[in-house]
Amino acid sequence: MTIFDISTTGRRATAQAPLNIANVDDLIPKALQRSQETILPEVSELEVVRHYTRLSQKNFSIDTHFYPLGSCTMKYNPRGAHHAASMPGFKQRHPLAPLVYSQGYLSCIYELQEFIKDVTGMKGVSLTPMAGAQGEFAGVAMIKAYHLSRGDFVRDEIIVPSAAHGTNPATAVMCGFKVKEIPVKSDGDVDLEALKQVVTERTAGIMLTNPSTCGVFERDIETISKMIHKAGGLLYYDGANLNAILGRVKPGDMGFDVMHLNLHKTFATPHGGGGPGSGPVAVGERLLPFLPTPIVGKQHQSEKVTYYWLTEKDIPQSIGRLSAFMGNAGILLRAYAYSLLLGRDGMHEVAEFSTLNANYLLKRLEQAGFKIAYPTRRASHEFLISFSREAKEYKVSAMDVAKRLLDYGFHAPTTYFPLLVPECFLIEPTETESKEIIDAFVEAMINILDEIKSNADIVKKAPHSLPVKRLDDVKAVKELDVRWESGKNS
């Protein structure tokens, strides 16, 4: 039942709009007025509350379930950070408010810029990108601007490992680059030989995550860095995995020139059922002139500290503006609060305990007979296992296992990413989960393994206990139905 199916003509939540309807016939030319009525739902306030409260209960979420979605860092989102960002003064501040009504907000944002410089080892930060992918866009656009500013017009290629997240190649293309994919070796590190082949004078840069999406630390990073820099290219760091090394290794120290952070991952801001996130970019010396605007500056005016906006006027070579205002301000405030809650020691602990949890879970699964993709390697904060054996022997796919895990009350890990490991799970427990829950997850996995051997059908037809059974994705594409229409079945 959608909200449209509950709708009844003439019903209204009367408390929520002005009590009288103002006449605008003299103010809006007739020809511009709406004549066609929309079919928005007509429902009571109770119906709305009940409908969406019940809908919400159909979701798995961090607040209700272990959610080891690799590459996504589904850790506890502190309610305190949410409250701190929801103070009326913050919620009511207009983005174009005069500076005098902005010092509270700007001071938080300025400090967050400083924190991010600290943990990344970078020289400058712009918080405006609204998600990781927009951070990538900003970063690659800066790489482009850098080369162009030096009169270096031939560099039209960005190198990306085959294991990279889809946003990496997609971003490179959006920035007008060609993508050169390079393979990953069987130990999870980049194939240096292959890399050598593609590094040329056309190389604008390389995009890497480290630890990589294979769940291992790229050990040759210093070599890669030298190789790329020597060829005149720059290094982009995809910060999706920063959680694994937060406060322990600074991307700047690895030789990266530019990076984004996913605050909705590493800084524990809520994922919101798909967003909003925030993807600040941080840069080394070379890319400082190109940072996207606006940025918050700080000045001392006769004893008093004031904060202000740096715009294109201050950064004339900036790649420009990426949003109507300055990105996802509320997410930035949450990340700021999170930083304060953790403090510097807490930042280090994020890396330590997310790594401890991942390695412990890896070892337990290995002992239970699961196939580890990179068995000779330490896990970073996440790791890969493969169901290729089960797929072959029992015709049970990684997706089947994922669905079956839902029945056991666990959200499934990321499946089929990266693509190079067949039938894989990318598993990221995060530091905020306890040993007990990891042990319970292992137990469920062992049970499922037993089921695969004894009664594969129960796995193949899973889930059995959710609001719906296995959904038909193919039909969803073939018989495209993307909006409610009166009279359509429901």
Partner 1 sequence: MAFIPHTQQDIAAMLATIGVDSIDQLFDEIPEALRAGILTHVPEEMSEMDVLRLMSDRAASDANVSSFIGAGAYEHHIPSAVWDIATRGEFMTAYTPYQAEASQGTLQLIYEFQSMMTQLTGLDVANASLYDGATALAEAILMAARYNKRFAGKKVLLPRNIHPHYLQTVKTIVAHQGIELAEIDFSATTGQIDLACLAQFKPDDVLAVVIAQPNFFGVMEDVDAMTDWAKSHNALVIGVVNPTSLAALKPPGQWGTEGADIAVGEGQPLGVPVASGGPYFGFMCAKQALVRQMPGRIVGRTTDLDGKEGYTLTLQAREQHIRRGKATSNICTNQGLTVTAATIYLSLLGLEGLKRVANDCVVKTHQLVSELTKLPGVELLFNSPYFHECALRLPVDGHVIQQKMQEKCITPGLNLQPYFPEFGNALLLCVTETKTDADLSCYVDAFKACLK
Ligand X SMILES: Cc1ncc(COP(=O)(O)O)c(C=O)c1O
Residues of the shown chain interacting with a second copy in the complex, contacts defined by CB under 8 A: 6, 8, 11, 15, 44-47, 49-50, 53-54, 57, 62-65, 76, 78-80, 88, 341, 432-434, 436
Question: Smallest distance, Å, CB 64 to a second copy?
Answer: 6
- Order of strands across the sheet that contains 234-239: 124-126, 281-283, 258-261, 234-239, 203-208, 157-161, 178-182
CA angle, 271 then 277 then 283, to 5°: 140
Q: Does 364 bind partner 1 (CB under 8 A)?
A: yes
- Give the binding-site size for partner 1 (rule: CB under 8 A): 218
User: How far from chain centre, in Å, is Cα 285?
Assistant: 26
Q: Which of 279, 280, 413, 429 binds ligand X (CB under 6 A)?
A: 279
**Of residues 238 and 390, the one with the C-beta less far from ligand X:** 238
What torsion do the CA atoms of 230, 231, 234, 239 make, to the nearest 10 degrees?
Answer: -80
Rounded Cα gap, residues 245 and 483, in angstroms: 43
Question: Smallest distance, Å, CB 244 to ligand X?
Answer: 11
Residues 247-266 interacting with partner 1 (rule: CB under 8 A): 247-250, 253-254, 262, 264
Question: Smallest distance, Å, CB 428 to a second copy?
Answer: 15
Q: Which of 347, 276, 289 is nearest to 129 (CA)?
A: 276
User: How far from chain centre, in Å, is Cα 231?
Assistant: 31
> Which of a second copy, ligand X, partner 1, none does residue 182 bind (CB under 5 to 8 Å by kind)?
none
Q: Which of 191, 189, 151, 374 is nearest to 180 (CA)?
A: 191
**Of residues 309 and 416, the one with the C-beta less far from ligand X:** 416
Q: Which of 185, 280, 378, 427 binds partner 1 (CB under 8 A)?
A: 378
Pairing of strands 424-427, 414-415: antiparallel
Residues 156-175 interacting with ligand X (rule: CB under 6 A): 165, 167
Residues 266-305 interacting with partner 1 (rule: CB under 8 A): 268, 270-277, 279, 292
Q: Does 394 bind partner 1 (CB under 8 A)?
A: no
Cβ–Cβ < 8 Å for 428, 68: yes
CA angle, 69 then 74 then 77, to 5°: 165
Residues 232-261 interacting with ligand X (rule: CB under 6 A): 238, 240
Q: Which of 68, 70, 124, 132 binds partner 1 (CB under 8 A)?
A: 132
Output the six-digit token pair for 16: 């929520």
Rounded Cα gap, residues 162 and 190, in angstroms: 9
Part of the chain binding ligand X (CB under 6 A), chosen from 126-134, 305-313, 361-369, 443-451: 126-134
The Cα diameter of the chain in Å comes to 78
Q: What residues does 414 pair with on adjacent strands? A: 426
Q: Which of 213, 266, 293, 380 binds ligand X (CB under 6 A)?
A: 213
**Of residues 165 and 334, the one with the C-beta less far from ligand X:** 165
Question: Smallest distance, Å, CB 41 to partner 1?
Answer: 5
Part of the chain binding ligand X (CB under 6 A), chosen from 129-137, 292-300, 363-371, 386-394: 129-137
Rounded Cα gap, residues 106 and 102, in angstroms: 6
**Of residues 45 and 156, the one with the C-beta less far from a second copy:** 45
**Of residues 230 and 468, the one with the C-beta less far from partner 1:** 468
Q: Does 71 bind ligand X (CB under 6 A)?
A: yes
Q: Which of 121, 412, 154 is nearest to 283 (CA)?
A: 121
Per-residue mark of binding to partner 1, 106-125 (x: CB under 8 A)? -xx-----xx-xxx-x----
Rounded Cα gap, residues 101 and 280, in angstroms: 24
Residue type, 97: A
| Concatenated DSSP letters of 325-379 | SSS-HHHHHHHHHHHHHHHHHHHHHHHHHHHHHHHHHHHHHHHTTPEESSTTS--
Question: Smallest distance, Å, CB 216 to partner 1?
Answer: 7
Q: Does 167 bind partner 1 (CB under 8 A)?
A: yes
Cβ–Cβ < 8 Å for 154, 162: no
- Give the binding-site size for ligand X (rule: CB under 6 A): 14
Q: Which of 12, 150, 196, 392 binds partner 1 (CB under 8 A)?
A: 12
Question: Smallest distance, Å, CB 27 to partner 1?
Answer: 5
Output the six-digit token pair for 174: 């959006």
Cβ–Cβ < 8 Å for 390, 416: no
Residues near ligand X (CB under 6 A): 71-72, 131-133, 165, 167, 209, 213, 238, 240, 262, 277, 279
